[in-house]
Structure 1
Amino acid sequence: MNMLTVIFMVFIAGAFFLFLRAEMCKAKGRKLAEKKPAFSEKNLEEFSEDRQVYYSKRLAEMISCRTVSKKGEFHSEEFYKLRSVISDLFPEVTKKAEVLYFGEDCYLYKFIGREPEKNVMLMSHHDVVPAEGEWSYPPFSGQIAEGCIWGRGTVDTKTPLFAEFSALEELLEKGWIPPCNVYLVSSHNEEIAGDGVPLVLQWLKEQKITFEWILDEGGAVIDAPMGGMDCKCAMLAVHEKGRYTIRVKAAQAAGHGSLMKQLKSPAVRIAGLITKIEKKQPFIRKIHPEVLAMFESLAPYMKLPMRLVFANMWCFGGLLKRLIPALNAQAGSMLGTTCTFKNLRTAENGDCMTEVFFRCVKEEDLKTDLKTFQKIAEEFQVEVDEVIENEYHRPASMQSSGYQFIKSCVEEEFGYAACAPFILPAGTDARHFSELSDAVIRFAPIDINNQQYASVHDKNENIEMESVVRAVAFYKTVLRKL
């Protein structure tokens, strides 16, 4: 047997082994149900098709409140209008909850349970970003058209808030008593990273209250996030990237004119730093445990050859670490630290400054990445002038009972969707509570398509009427199973 034959046989054996693992991976996946209308899946009058219209009209009342967040502004009349709408729509909730307000309008509703030592928390936020551009329907009308409710906040995040209140209201109407303490927290200034939830955190810490789990926005039921998949995917964010902001400065050289000519201008040096960082992408890249779990959870629902690759991360992980950033920017951002430059300006004395905004997955990697950044900055005679922000919060434990409980509820209510954890590149209020629970999960139970996903902070935000039904059903399942 010659060497070529041996190599060929080894190659065939290796390929067969990889293929076998891909087929075994497929067998590990849940058998997904066919997606059907929510009202056809429930043998209850409350989930009739008429219920879609009922929920949609009630949600529209909340959408019509122009609770827009802008730094330095608070339009109390619109926020207090929403308070009144919530009180009218949900009388049982209003009557049976202990309600506290923090800051200008951050809500905390507490429902006392039979087991007073155990606590869980539902979250949302009721502020929205401004509605700009030309919309198909008025952005604060809550208009029902084309099977959807249209308006700012339908996705981000008045629908989840409405569904939380609706689930509680309907259960309380039937005499439900929570098995444990249930908290509902909604911020009035999440969109501007305001003080609402930090004030709640301060109060909870003073009361020494911790939580079995905390559930906020972040992920959703979305169209397949990568090629080679046909099913919807319920994405549960178990971590969000940390924030670290610095100001760097290139100083105007002082001294003899001939020496100054040898040094490029401050603006050119800052530009050189930005260009090199953007081109080189010098920061640590890893397949973090949360990312590995995401790929392993989605792999059973992929077609070949994608399934063969992601079912064999031990073999292809190194290659994917290099390819993913080029194929999908959002997925690439889950692999490590990213940075963006903002607020570039030149002072009257000629110094040039810019802010550098880092988002990190792991705090220890950020420390190394900052050293790498400083070394490159020194090449361009750029120095760190000030640390503006430094914020990092631990990820949720995917082994915790809280995460497993939420995951089981997602799989039950969204049986047609693959369920997977992921790292959220954006920010949520939930990050502030990570020291109070090992299961801070970011998942809004709304089934949205790519257009609806893209409408967040953009024009024509909308959600299907059927998705509102499903969201209410999800929260009722969560509360019933406590």
Structure 2
Amino acid sequence: MRRPLALAGSAAAATAIGATVRRVARFRPERTPATPVDLDGLDAEAAAGRLADLIRIPTVSYRDRSEIDEAAFERFRARLVELYPAAHAALEREELGDGALLYRWRGATDEPPLVLMAHYDVVPVAGQDWSRDPFSGLIEDGVVHGRGAIDDKGTLVAILEAVEALATEGFTPRRDVYLSFGNDEEVAGVGAQLAVAAFTERGIRPWAVLDEGGAVVRGMFPGVPGQVAVVGLAEKGRLDVELTTSDPGGHASSPTRNGAPAQLARAILAIDAKPFPARLNDVVLGMVDAVGRHATGPLRGVFAHAGSLRPLLATVLSRAGREANALVRTTVAVTRLEGSSAGNVLATTARAHLNIRIALGETVESTVDRLRRVIDDPRVELRVLPGGADPSRVSRVDNEAYALVAAAANAAYPDAVVAPYLMVQASDSRHFSEICDSVYRFMPFDVTREELSALHAADERISIAALHRGAGFFRHLIRSV
């Protein structure tokens, strides 16, 4: 959905992207006073205890299924029934594949359903320096600690807290509400794809889908001091590439110049020296349009003319920090390096693993082509690994679904500016883009920069207050739709 210069693909795809560009560019949200969410009947301490209980079950995902503790995943699924009896009495539940959960809460009408998503698998903790046991579920000083506290058991618990409270009072939603809880999101598994397949087989096209993604943050946007609730409209593509170089090798006492590691190092340095260009895609332009009017100082004038200052704003954001930089360009991270298996033996093969997040308007194919041009060395073999995907489609902002999600965010956080956002990570929700044009990515938690940086890292945690308000957000949304 970017400028024509960055587009790739068919004319029909370009036309569809252009239509989305015009919708996002026209987006002018009005800040209206919101009635704060009703938190009565939602027990913050009890919710924290239930989240802690679920954190203690180590549902760690591995690409090698032989490493997975299947019994832990079974315990987790069983524990949900025990912790949320009213929800499980009111909703129909089915298991898909190896443990993805799909719940249906029948509504009073046959209108298209709302789908609320989360995943209950988590990433490993090996090699990380935690200050507390990552699976203790420790509650301390108003904070729940442990792997999955935010990503993504916190969201799952906030959803179920809302559903449990509503089911207990006998509430029936206007439209069907589905809960899609994945068991393999962290390894780009198939749980969400199975859910989409089930919807497709049953002829169901969701009204809206809400998954993890943006959050309520401060200091993310340059020049804007207050809270911003960023709702993801799309997510970047993903690609894993392996670079390999070879050499005859030999004893380390007689090294040769330009061996396999040196060839690989030059390729990596070439990529690092020539990053993908920074360009202001139109989802980020929509964010600038919504948030920039609340900036202070000279940036306010810059943001007021965002549409005509794209190159300048792309530069500003690319230099504003890691998160902002990732919004405006395809990023390449070297995550693994391999060489000789012995300290005194020259490497016959050297390898590097590149994890790449593809910007809107670019594709897997165009990304690989550029890497080959930048490396410009026939001795470096570039292999595309399975699991790559182009950027997702861009969801609508000109409809009731987005308006109600934004209204619920404003009800939960009345002082926050709600803005569209580009998710730089991948999520299960990209699969639902195949059957729904209103797929949003938003975790209704106010989190600090330090808390965000702990995702997939040591000392992941969430405040009890944020969890409580998140449950209020979901209850408000369900009541609204």
Name the counterpart of 1:446.
445
1:371 paired residue number:
369
Shift of 1:300: 2.1
Question: Do the aligned residues in 2 keep the contact of 1:237 with 1:423 (CA within 8 Å)?
Answer: yes
Mark the CA change 1:378 to 1:59 in structure 2 (over 3 Å): closer, same or farther.
Answer: closer
Contact 1:110 1:184 in 2 (8 A): yes
Q: 1:250 to 1:74 in 2, by over 3 A?
A: closer
Q: 1:95 to 1:385 in 2, by over 3 A?
A: closer
Structure 2: gaps (5+ residues): 1-27, 249-255, 341-345
Does residue 481 (structure 1) correspond to residue 474 (structure 2)? The answer is: no
**Equivalence map 1:300-379=2 (5 Å):** 300-345=293-338, 350=348, 352-364=350-362, 367-379=365-377
Q: Which deviates the most, 201-210 or 234-243? A: 201-210
> 2:58 is matched with which residue: 66, 69, 81?
66
Aligned to 1:211: 206
Paired residues of 1:219 and 1:444 also in contact (CA < 8 A): yes
Letter in 2 for 1:30: R
**1: CA distance, partners of 2:288 / 2:181:** 32
Match of 1:420 in 2: 419
Contact 1:128 1:152 in 2 (8 A): yes
State how 1:107-118 maps to structure 2 within 5 Å: 107-118=101-112
Amino acid at match of 2:31: R
Identical aligned residues as a percent: 27
Contact 1:32 1:418 in 2 (8 A): no
1:200 aligned residue (195, 199, 218): 195
> Based on CA coordinates, which of the two structures has the bigger radius of gyration?
1
Amino acid at match of 1:445: P
What's the CA shift for 1:137? 4.2
Aligned to 1:5: none
Aligned CA distance change for structure 1 residues 138 and 301 (closer, same or farther; 3 Å): same
- Report the AA paired with residue 87 of structure 2: V
Q: Which has a greater percent of helix?
A: 1
Partners of 1:248 and 1:386 within 8 A in 2: no
**Alpha-carbon deviation of 1:332?**
1.6
Question: RMSD of the TM alignment (CA)?
Answer: 2.9
Corresponding residue to 1:173 among 164, 168, 175 = 168
- How many equivalent pairs are there? 439
Matching residue's letter, 2:287: M
Give the direction of change, closer, same or farther, for the CA distance of 1:193–1:370 in structure 2 (3 Å limit). closer
For residue 319 of structure 2, give the secondary structure of its aligned residue in structure 1. Answer: helix
Provide the residue aligned with 1:106 in structure 2. 100
Aligned amino acid, residue 440 of structure 2: I
Aligned equivalents of 1:424 and 1:321: distance in 2? 16
Which residue does the alignment assign to 1:57?
Answer: 49
2:239–2:384: 8 Å Cα contact kept in structure 1? no
Change (3 A) 1:45 1:372: closer
1:190 aligns with 2:185: yes
SS of residue matched to 1:178: coil
Question: Which residue is 1:146 aligned to?
Answer: 141
CA distance in 1, matches of 2:152, 2:384: 35
1:30 Cα deviation from its structure 2 partner? 2.6
Q: CA–CA distance in 2 between the matches of 1:131 and 1:301?
A: 39
Q: CA deviation at 1:402?
A: 2.2
Tell me the equivalent position of 2:12.
Answer: none
The residue number in structure 2 matching 1:231 is 226
Report SS of the residue matched to 1:456: coil
The answer to which of 421-430 and 326-335 deviates more is 326-335
Shift of 1:360: 1.3
1:365 and 1:219 map into 2 onto residues whose CA distance is: 23
Deviation at 1:215, TM superposition (A): 0.4
Partner of 1:30: 31
Question: Alpha-carbon deviation of 1:42?
Answer: 6.5
Whole-angstrom CA distance in 1 between matches of 2:293 and 2:281: 20
1:366-398, Cα deviation, whole Å (9 max, x unpaired):
544433322233345435455644312312223
1:112 CA displacement:
1.7
Hey, what's the Cα distance between the residues in 2 that align with 1:473 and 1:53? 14
Gaps of 5+ in 1: 1-26, 254-260
Alpha-carbon distance change, 159 to 299 in structure 1, aligned in 2, over 3 angstroms: same
Aligned residue in 1 for 2:9: none
Distance 1:395 1:173, change over 3 A: same
Give the residue type in structure 2 aligned to 1:466.
A
| 8 Å CA contact retained: 1:29, 1:300 | no
Q: Hey, what's the Cα distance between the residues in 2 that align with 1:473 and 1:460?
A: 25
CA distance in 2, matches of 1:80, 1:288: 42
**Distance (Å, rounded) in 1 between the aligned partners of 2:363 and 2:457:** 33
Q: Secondary structure at the match of 2:215?
A: strand
Task: Name the residue aligned to 2:263.
Answer: 269
Distance 2:134 2:356 in 1: 33
Rate the CA distance shift 1:43–1:476 in 2: closer, same or farther, 3 A: closer
CA distance in 2, matches of 1:417, 1:360: 29
How big is the shift at 1:242?
0.7
How far did residue 162 of structure 1 move?
Answer: 1.1
Q: Find the partner of 1:245 among 235, 240, 252.
A: 240
Matched-pair contact (CA < 8 Å) for 2:241–2:384:
yes
TM-score normalized by the length of structure 1: 0.82
Match of 2:233, SS state, is strand
Question: In the alignment, is residue 93 of structure 1 matched against residue 75 of structure 2?
Answer: no
Q: Cα distance, 1:308 vs. partner?
A: 1.7
Per the normalisation by structure 2, the TM-score is 0.82
2: distance between equivalents of 1:466 and 1:119? 29
* Shift, 1:479, TM fit: 0.6
Which region of structure 1 is more displaced relative to structure 2, 331-340 or 424-433?
331-340
Deviation at 1:249, TM superposition (A): 4.3
Measure, in 2, the Cα distance between the counterparts of 1:225 and 1:63.
28
SS at match of 1:358: strand
- Is the contact between residue 272 and residue 380 of structure 1 (CA under 8 Å) also seen in structure 2? no
Taking a change above 3 Å as real, the CA distance of residues 379 and 142 of structure 1, as seen in their structure-2 partners, is closer
* Aligned 8 A contact 1:273 1:380 in 2: no
